[in-house]
Structure 1
Amino acid sequence: MGIEVVVEGLTKSFGSQNVWQDVTLTLPPGEVSVMLGPSGTGKTVFLKSLIGLLKPERGRVLVDGVDMVGGRERDIYEARKKFGLMFQDGALFGSMSLYDNIAFPLREHTRKTESEIRRIVMERIETVGLLGDEGKLPGEISGGMRKRAGLARALVLDPQIILCDEPDSGLDPVRTSYLSQLLIDLNAQTDATMLIVTHNLEIAATVPDNMGMLFRRNLVTFGPREALLTSEEPVVRQFLTGHQAGPIGMSEEKDEATLAEEEASGAAAGVAPRGIVPQLQPSPGLPARQAVVRRRARLLAMWDTFPPATREAIGAGPAASQGGPA
């Protein structure tokens, strides 16, 4: 089963520029979460902070009892092995075949024999649909195939936490749809805790159990997908509808005067919230996601804290048909 990741009061700056501050959230074990946000809001920085590749100035990231911010380097190094990280571009070695790229973590961090490594690598290659392409170089395949190879490499150490940095970037809608299904299938097979950083609304609407959003150096919200998809928060509504009226501008957030002018002119009125679409289910033949049962119990415990629109969305969702809140 995946591991719970607890983030407490995380603050990160580069020089005088504050990226985000006091970020607090919990990634529930085995569930799939998505972090949204306009470009430049520090989503990738957040991922690298979780795994200990960047050091925030304040706060903690607790992974199986290890603080990835202030813990001992030896402990952080060992805890990092529990993660699998899929980078935006796959981050593959251009001079290595896909097979050798995917085998690299096993050769670097384990003492497995080459026959054991081959068995694991070929299993992961088959999982991501690259069987027959293992001998090719990264430059000989498409961007989507490179992403899948990067995902296969992230999986070879059987991580309990999988982080995906904009897995959809550069992909057309059809390939994005295939990738979304692949992520759900992987969760069904591994029960790993997953966090996906993206600004793709289709992934956000159909893949996660939980959603969060970074904006103006703060975590605007984090919680069940139904809460964010029914949110009345202006920046959330604007992001989910793609409407020009709202706090997000072309290059940065709008000032108060501009927002007041939009409100006075009614520019922000009449923007319908994004409808709740069904969450993707595992492909036929795969086991049911174990996280669904745990999530149902968690939402029941939180039921009184949800606004009516969120309760209605949860009650109309898959949980209702499986005995959840209704």
Structure 2
Amino acid sequence: MGIEVSVRNLTKSFGSHQIWRDVSLTLPAGEVSALLGPSGTGKSVFLKSLIGLLRPDEGEIVVDGVDIMRCSARELYEIRTLFGVLFQDGALFGSMNLFDNVAFPLREHTRKPESEISRIVMEKLELVGLVGAEGKLPGEISGGMRKRAGLARALVLEPQIILVDEPDSGLDPVRTTYISQTLIDINTEIDATILIVSHNINLARTVPDNIGMLFRRELVMFGPREVLLSSDEPVIRQFLGGAMIGPIGMSEEKDEAQMAHEQALVDAGHHAGGVEGLVGIAPQMRPTPGLPERRAVARRRERVRRMLPTLPPEARDAIADDLDAARVMAR
């Protein structure tokens, strides 16, 4: 099973520009989480901080009981072996074919014989649907195939935590769905802890067990999908609805005068963008037929049931209906 990652009071700045402050959240072990937010809110900075590529100014990042903000270089190296990372562009070596790209971590960090490396590489390439393309260079394949090759490479060391940075970047909606399905299937098979950084609305509503959102240098909310998707928090409703009306603007945030002006336009019949009725608890993506049910789902639903008494009545009703529907589908 995957490992819990706990972040407490994390703050990060570049010079005088503060990226985010006092961010606290826990990625539940073995579940899929997504971190959302408008462009420029520091989502990728947060992901890179989790593996020590960037160092926050303050706070704690506890992985497997070790605070990587205060550990030795050797301890950090050991902690990093627990992670697999899929960067936005796949981060493949252009001069290596896909087989050698995927094999690279095994050759660098293990002493496995080539026969064992070959078995593992082909197993991961099959998992992401790239068997037959192992001899191709990254420049000879599509962006979607490069993403899948990057995911295969992220998996070869059998990580317990998988970080995925903008899996939809540069991909059309169909190929984004294929990547999303692959991540769900991987979680089903190995019960890894997965964090997806994204601003894709459809992915956010259908893939993760838990959702968080960064806005105005703060974490607005983080919790089970049912809680976030039924939230009446304005910035969350605006983001998931893809509408202009709300706190998010072209330059990230709006003042009250601009928000009042836009609301007046809507009241006068001006279309505000987005999709009417989009916000709600959409059905979650399920594993590919033939695979077992994801263990993460039962763990999350039990946590949601314990939270119900603390939620607003509208949220309780929406979540109760969703849990009932899920129970019927599972029969």
- TM-score normalised by length of structure 1: 0.94
**Mapping of 1:1-326 within 5 angstroms?**
1-263=1-263, 272=277, 274-317=279-322, 321-322=326-327
**How many residues are paired up?**
324
Structure 1 residue 182 displacement after superposition: 1.0
Query: Structure 2: how far apart are the matches of 1:313 and 1:111?
Result: 52
Query: Structure 1: how far apart are the matches of 2:17 and 2:324?
Result: 42
Tell me, yes or no, if the aligned pair for 1:229 and 1:273 is still in contact at 8 Å. Answer: no
Q: Which moved more, 1:65-74 or 1:109-118?
A: 65-74
> Structure 1 residues 319, 83: closer, same or farther in 2, change over 3 A?
farther
Structure 1 residue 255 displacement after superposition: 2.0
Query: Structure 2: how far apart are the matches of 1:40 and 1:285?
Result: 40
Query: Structure 2: how far apart are the matches of 1:250 and 1:183?
Result: 31
Letter aligned with residue 53 of structure 2: L
Letter aligned with residue 229 of structure 1: L
Q: Which moved more, 1:45-54 or 1:221-230?
A: 221-230
Structure 1 residue 238 displacement after superposition: 1.2
Structure 1 residue 89 displacement after superposition: 0.4
Q: Secondary structure at the match of 1:35?
A: strand
Q: Secondary structure at the match of 2:53?
A: coil
Letter aligned with residue 184 of structure 1: I
Deviations 1:11-54 (A, max 9, x none): 00000000000000010010101111000000000000111111
Query: Structure 1: how far apart are the matches of 2:54 and 2:76?
Result: 12
Query: Structure 2: how far apart are the matches of 1:195 and 1:22?
Result: 19
Tell me, yes or no, if the aligned pair for 2:166 and 2:197 is still in contact at 8 Å. Answer: yes
Letter aligned with residue 9 of structure 2: G
Q: Which moved more, 1:220-229 or 1:314-323?
A: 314-323
Structure 1 unaligned blocks of 5 or more: none
Letter aligned with residue 206 of structure 2: T
Q: Secondary structure at the match of 2:248?
A: coil
Q: Secondary structure at the match of 1:151?
A: helix
Query: Structure 1: how far apart are the matches of 2:212 and 2:9?
Result: 15
> Structure 1 residues 275, 297: closer, same or farther in 2, change over 3 A?
closer
Could you list the structure 1 runs, at least 4 aligned residues long, displaced by more than 6 angstroms after superposition. none
Letter aligned with residue 175 of structure 1: R
Query: Structure 2: how far apart are the matches of 1:318 and 1:282?
Result: 18
- TM-score normalised by length of structure 2: 0.93
Letter aligned with residue 295 of structure 2: Q
Query: Structure 1: how far apart are the matches of 2:314 and 2:32?
Result: 22
Tell me, yes or no, if the aligned pair for 2:226 and 2:304 is still in contact at 8 Å. Answer: no
Query: Structure 1: how far apart are the matches of 2:263 and 2:35?
Result: 28
> Structure 1 residues 5, 135: closer, same or farther in 2, change over 3 A?
same
Question: What RMSD over aligned residues (CA atoms) do the two structures have, in Å?
Answer: 2.0
Query: Structure 2: how far apart are the matches of 1:84 and 1:309?
Result: 39
Structure 2 unaligned blocks of 5 or more: none
Deviations 1:96-141 (A, max 9, x none): 0000000001111111111111111100000000000001000000
Letter aligned with residue 4 of structure 2: E
Tell me, yes or no, if the aligned pair for 1:230 and 1:273 is still in contact at 8 Å. Answer: no
Q: What percentage of residue pairs aligned between the two structures are identical?
A: 68
Q: Secondary structure at the match of 2:286?
A: coil
Structure 1 residue 266 displacement after superposition: 5.4
Q: Secondary structure at the match of 1:317?
A: helix
Query: Structure 1: how far apart are the matches of 2:5 and 2:237?
Result: 27
Query: Structure 2: how far apart are the matches of 1:273 and 1:128?
Result: 30
Q: Which moved more, 1:280-289 or 1:139-148?
A: 280-289
Structure 1 residue 246 displacement after superposition: 1.5
> Structure 1 residues 282, 14: closer, same or farther in 2, change over 3 A?
same
Letter aligned with residue 122 of structure 2: M
